[in-house]
Chain A
Amino acid sequence: MVAYLVAILIFAMIYGFVALGLNIQWGLTGLINLGQVAFFAIGAYAFALATHAGMPLLAALVLATLVSGAFGGAVALFTPRLREDYLAIVTLGFSEFIRLIFLNEKWLAGGPDGIAAIPRPPTIPGLDTETSFLVVSAALVGLAFWFSQRLARFPIGRTLRAIREDETVVASVGKPTLAYKSQAFILGAALAGIGGAFFASYLTYISPDMFGPNVSIYVLAAVLLGTQGSSLGTLAGTAVVAALLEGTRLLKDYITIVDGVQLAALRLMALGLALMVIVVIRYRTTRSP
């Protein structure tokens, strides 16, 4: 039971990075990103490949952060003038594009077999391996949280919020909005990359089928649940989504009328339904006549 709880908390930490990143892009700056899983996957693969190439763990983590941030910057630079709905299509398409590359490039990423034997950080003396991993990831989520809080309060945060409200006004007072938007996208992608590195390290094995659209939907629901733009709300939202989704894994031991595949399907149906309900509650308008 305690082991389950630790596992749920670790997943909450991993998705916490990704959600904090999405919160900078979407919550703070208003740039919708339906493909956050792309940067999560890039971080995971970069970390796995770097450690296999013999890099120390911390250096691999930094590299994963930089590489996913760079991809975020590339996406931001190519899509500066896209409207919200087009950005939604491109980001979702991009995430599937990235997954296809990892699936097809056997020489780079092992193809459908993925990459195994990804190392974990050394265990803190006196703790078991799982708890130790939780402590390390929680410490880094704390750091990421502190960073996003500072970011929101600094002048750059004010500018990003202003871009969210009205980009033209911000541009008209001489602010380089493209540079600001790119920075927000880079930071968000980099945070997702850190999440990916922790994901790879925690599971010690990654394969392309782990990086479907579910992760993107997961963090969209988390950011929507928290007040958009608030880092604290985002983390609370992540905790709720993680409890709801990872917590229901426990049901496997109690529910016998459905088999494993069906239970997994039910959990993802619940995620889809949860996202829809949250959206309706958040955005409901009066019924049209």
Chain B
Amino acid sequence: MFELQIYFVSALVSAAIWTLPAAAISLIYGVLRYPNFAITEFMTLGAYLALFLCGFSFPLWFAAPLAAVLTGFVALAFDQTLFRSVRRAGALPPVLLSLGLMLFLQNAVRFLWGNDVLQYPIPLSRPFVIAGFVITPTQAIMIVSVLVILLLSIVGLRMTAFGRAVRATSTNPELAVVTGVRPEIVYGGVIFISGFLAAIGGVALATETTLTPLLGWRVLIPLFAVAILGGLGSVIGAAYAALLLGLVSEFSLLVLPATYKTALAFLVLAAVLLVRPTGLIRAGD
């Protein structure tokens, strides 16, 4: 039984890491209608910016949101200078742009910080045990923070005027414009929030692993599997799907070698796209 509890904690940790960046992919797909491959690099950039801010002896809980805001502005800058000029040219041009941006950002991080493996200055602490579940304080803080940000995003989408505008644009862009929604504001806001969410996910991933320029790229496939499984466009769907994929890939370790977790995620992704492209999980926004 003890074994199963370890798998369960790992699944929860993976789900917490994947949820926010996958929600970012989902939001952009829902509103701007293209899969954004640069999200993984916003994770990497956010994680390194947080490390950079930690260098000014800021604690990580303060450096992380600050780095995420900065990453949001970087995402917004690229959106306004490049992506905005191909807004009405279909899905392919922004997909190609995001691929170019992915390569650009990944190597910008490599240029600035090098290929060395880096780590946050988090003191090692003894894991504690709750009802047989072994979890480190860092993991607990990470999971709780992600849950808080997830709830804030969901409440924001439901309750605020901006959230309504986002949901309206996602459901029916023409109708949204007619009712007075200004699309460019929605687009810009969604990109900023996506950059923010991705960066938080990047910091979360880096606390569990280490910082390398390939930090985000390594989770590209799980993230897209989660976003598609959750029904592209839905934040809650992404959260459920992250938990589902987390459980599936951890418990797959009982029968599959660990190195195939990502490959399994690709098979899940491909299967969902082929069988049910609208996603498995039906949830609201």
**Which residues does A use to contact B, with CB under 8 Å?**
32, 34, 78-79, 82-86, 88-90, 92-94, 96-97, 100-101, 103-104, 213-214, 216-217, 220, 224, 258, 261-262, 264-266, 268-269, 271-276, 279-280, 282-289
Contact = CB atoms under 8 A, between A and B. Distances in A.
B110 A101 contact: no
B111 A276 contact: no
B37 A269 contact: no
B96 A96 contact: no
Contacts of A285: 85-89
Contacts of B277: 82-83, 86
Contacts of A103: 259
A261 B115 contact: yes
Contacts of B110: 261-262, 264-265, 268
Contact of B103 (A83, A92, A217, A288): A217
B93 interface: yes
Contacts of B273: 79, 82, 86, 89-90
Interface in B62-118: 82, 84-93, 95-97, 99-108, 110-111, 114-115
Nearest to A212: B217
B184 interface: yes
A90 B107 contact: no
Given A90-B273, A93-B221, A288-B184, A280 B82 contact: yes
Contacts of A34: 95, 99
B97 A279 contact: yes
B104 A276 contact: yes
Contact of A96 (B34, B102, B221): B221
B266 A288 contact: no
A213 B266 contact: no
A89 B35 CA distance: 7
16 contacts: A85-B95, A89-B228, A94-B266, A97-B221, A100-B260, A100-B263, A103-B259, A261-B115, A265-B108, A265-B110, A269-B107, A271-B100, A280-B86, A283-B86, A285-B85, A288-B88
User: For chain B, what secondary structure do more than half of its interface residues adopt (helix, strand, loop), or is it mixed?
Assistant: helix
B165 to A, nearest CB: 15
A217 B111 CA distance: 19
Q: Which of B105, B263, B277 has the most CB of A within 10 A?
A: B263
Interface in B209-257: 220-221, 224, 228, 257
A130 to B, nearest CB: 29
B189 interface: no
Nearest to B183: A288
B31 interface: no
Interface of B: 33-35, 37, 82, 84-93, 95-97, 99-108, 110-111, 114-115, 183-184, 220-221, 224, 228, 257, 259-260, 262-263, 266, 269-270, 273-274, 277
Given A82-B273, A90-B273, A269-B104, A280 B111 contact: no
Contacts of A268: 103, 106-107, 110
A214 B103 contact: yes
A174 B274 CA distance: 24
The 3 closest A-B pairs by CB, nearest first: A272-B104, A272-B103, A275-B100
Contacts of A213: 99, 102-103
B270 A78 contact: yes
B34 A85 contact: yes
A220 B228 contact: no
